[in-house]
Structure 1
Amino acid sequence: MRDLTSGVTATIAARFGQDAAEPAPAAQATPAATAAPERLPQPALPRSPDERATMTDTPPASTRPPAPQVPRSIRLVAHAAALTLVPSGLWRIAVALGWDSGFTDEVLGPENFPGEGSPYLIGLSLFAEVLGLLTLGLIHRWGEELPGWVPFLGGRRIPVPVAVIPASLGAALVTLITVTGALSWNDADNMGAAGSPEGGHYWLMTACYLPLLAWGPLLAVVTVAYYRRRRAY
């Protein structure tokens, strides 16, 4: 019995000694503790002027809206304004070349043409038509930017007042002159004077000069449209 007790005691003591000698298992590292911290994405810096303009909410030059187009109706009005001077100009040129206009006075009688007054009538007709053609500048690029062949100033934009003020004054002046002339058309010092055309010659000359009444108002319409279009960009 004593030997059995001693053997059990020795076995228990040996077992506990073995457990004490064995090292404790190392604690396993959790993924949260060992994982490397994630790096937050950094915003990319703008590299080009267009990108920098986008970052500052300013549209780059390549994305700015184009200049407004000229409406077709305004184009028609501008061409009509230029054409209002054609009939009267052709009438004066015909007189300068010797056509019998019906005048019998010493100034515009057919016996005086061609003559010394011919260059004046032809020059007046051409000058008036050039003024009328300037209306087309209000619908074309050359009315907004000087052509490249202009010395020193070619390619520069035309300030809005530089075009609008002369066009506005011209429209007002032309309207005043043409309306005044129409109201006094048959006065004694005009078509009612002795030696003036009569019959068919009278009506032909009247029809040739009548379109001039539309020149001023049409020019005013195109000028207003030009101003609004240029102010829009």
Structure 2
Amino acid sequence: MPINLALGDTDRPVPRWALRSAKALPFVVLPHCLWRLPFAFDFSMGIVDPSASPMPWWAPAYVFGLSVLTEALALLCTGLVSGWGEQVPDWVPLIGGRRVALLAAIIPAALGGLGLVVMWDTMPLAWFGLLGFQEVAFSNGWWMLLARVCISPVMLWGPIVLALTYAYYRRRRSA
């Protein structure tokens, strides 16, 4: 059976909200990826850190790689609403054409979503100095506002992945 890599081309219908969320996810994390790029070239983006040292020679490659990896992981979440998330495409060596085991998709997606929630959804605690969390210092309020505007959407990543994972589970659990 040939696989169509189009979103929503699944055995059972994908909820419209899940399809839209999966399509939006790469754009949700994009501002954060773009915010990160100037740091690769030792531009502090208004962050005040007296102990900061010059960036090492490998920093640009690392920061660009991290941004590309972030976008790739966001795109990978489209597998939760796509036919290739239910059956491995034929062109994949050794396992092409096989059905994706439900737990082989659910466990990594759920753990990834929970990890993202822990990593990013504690940021408001730092903004308000709660529970010992501290935000970095900025040279002025405009830099702080820009940072929060660019970084805040990434707080949606974990909850969106968890919601997509639940929708995937409900759709696949019984055919």
CA apart distance, 1:152: 1.1
Q: Is the Cα contact below 8 Å between 1:87 and 1:208 reproduced in 2?
A: yes
Where does residue 211 of structure 1 map in the other structure?
Answer: 153
d(CA) in 2 for partners of 1:122, 1:214: 22
1:132 aligns with 2:74: yes
1:71 aligns with 2:15: yes
Where does residue 118 of structure 1 map in the other structure?
Answer: 60
CA-to-aligned-CA distance 1:72-123 (integer Å, 9 cap, x gap): 22111112333221111011113324656113436778xx469542222212
1:108–1:197 distance in 2 versus 1, CA, 3 Å: farther
1:94 aligns with 2:58: no
Q: Which has the higher contact order (CA 8 A, sep 6+)?
A: 2
d(CA) in 2 for partners of 1:160, 1:69: 16
1:230–1:197 distance in 2 versus 1, CA, 3 Å: farther
RMSD between aligned residues: 2.5
1:104–1:158 distance in 2 versus 1, CA, 3 Å: same
Task: Show structure 2 runs of 5+ residues with no match.
Answer: 1-9
Normalised by the length of structure 1, the TM-score is 0.62
Q: Is the Cα contact below 8 Å between 2:48 and 2:136 reproduced in 1?
A: no
Where does residue 105 of structure 1 map in the other structure?
Answer: 49
d(CA) in 1 for partners of 2:18, 2:170: 12
Where does residue 36 of structure 1 map in the other structure?
Answer: none
d(CA) in 1 for partners of 2:17, 2:162: 14
User: Superposition pairs for residues 5-154 of structure 1, below 5 Å?
Assistant: 67-97=11-41, 99=43, 101-105=45-49, 112=54, 115-154=57-96
Q: Is the Cα contact below 8 Å between 1:78 and 1:135 reproduced in 2?
A: yes
State the identity %.
Answer: 36
d(CA) in 1 for partners of 2:74, 2:51: 27
Q: Is the Cα contact below 8 Å between 1:82 and 1:136 reproduced in 2?
A: no
Larger Rg, first or second structure (1 or 2)? 1
d(CA) in 2 for partners of 1:192, 1:100: 11
1:91–1:108 distance in 2 versus 1, CA, 3 Å: farther
Where does residue 101 of structure 2 map in the other structure?
Answer: 159
d(CA) in 2 for partners of 1:106, 1:123: 27
Q: Is the Cα contact below 8 Å between 2:19 and 2:81 reproduced in 1?
A: yes
Q: Is the Cα contact below 8 Å between 2:125 and 2:133 reproduced in 1?
A: no
Q: Is the Cα contact below 8 Å between 1:175 and 1:216 reproduced in 2?
A: yes
Q: How many residues align?
A: 164
Name the SS for the 1:69 alignment partner. coil
CA apart distance, 1:223: 0.8
d(CA) in 1 for partners of 2:166, 2:85: 14
Where does residue 52 of structure 1 map in the other structure?
Answer: none
Q: Is the Cα contact below 8 Å between 1:82 and 1:129 reproduced in 2?
A: yes
